[in-house]
Amino acid sequence: MKTFISFVVFFLVVNLVFAENNLHNLKPGDEDYLVIAETMPEPAGGLSALMKKINYPNMARKAGIEGKVIAMVYVGEGGDVEDVKIIKGLDAGCSEEVERVLRDSKFKPGSNQGKAVKVKMAMAFQFKLQ
């Protein structure tokens, strides 16, 4: 059975919605991350390189689990992933796989007026069996 994992990045709209809805749920330091930057962070090597790192968990494949994992990724000025929060998860190891890959990834940092800035952004990963 073939499997397929697609990747979608929601920058502006999703970030604004989550930021608006979660203002009361901010943790200390959360406000240090911008929701929008002139240049948003990008995975080093591109989105396709990030997608290749994700493995469809065997348990999820065997159980026929499909769906979307949405994660909030906190990228520092140096491009390191400083935190990952799963906003919408999937069972059977899918959420954990997305978190593992994001934490191990390096990003090109976001910037405003040529200066690197901390940015938080929502990223969605679609798990689909084919």
Domain boundaries, the chain: 3-129
Q: Cα–chain-centroid distance for residue 85?
A: 8
**Confidence class for position 56, pLDDT limits 50, 70, 90:** very high
**Confidence class for position 10, pLDDT limits 50, 70, 90:** very low
For residue 119, pLDDT over 90 is answered with: yes
Task: Summarize the confidence of residues 10-33 as an average pLDDT.
Answer: 52
- Return the CATH architecture of domain 3-129: 2-Layer Sandwich (3.30)
β-strand partners of 94: none
Task: Summarize the confidence of residues 110-129 as an average pLDDT.
Answer: 94
Q: What six digits make up the tokens of 53?
A: 């790192």
pLDDT single digits (tens) 30-49: 678 999 999 999 999 998 99
Higher pLDDT, 130 or 33: 33
Query: Residue 93 — left, alpha, or beta (φ > 0 → left; ψ -120 to 50 → alpha)?
Result: left
Nearest partner of 67 among 75, 57, 79, 77, judged by Cα: 57
For residue 4, pLDDT over 90 is answered with: no
Locate tokens 């397929």: which residue? Answer: 4
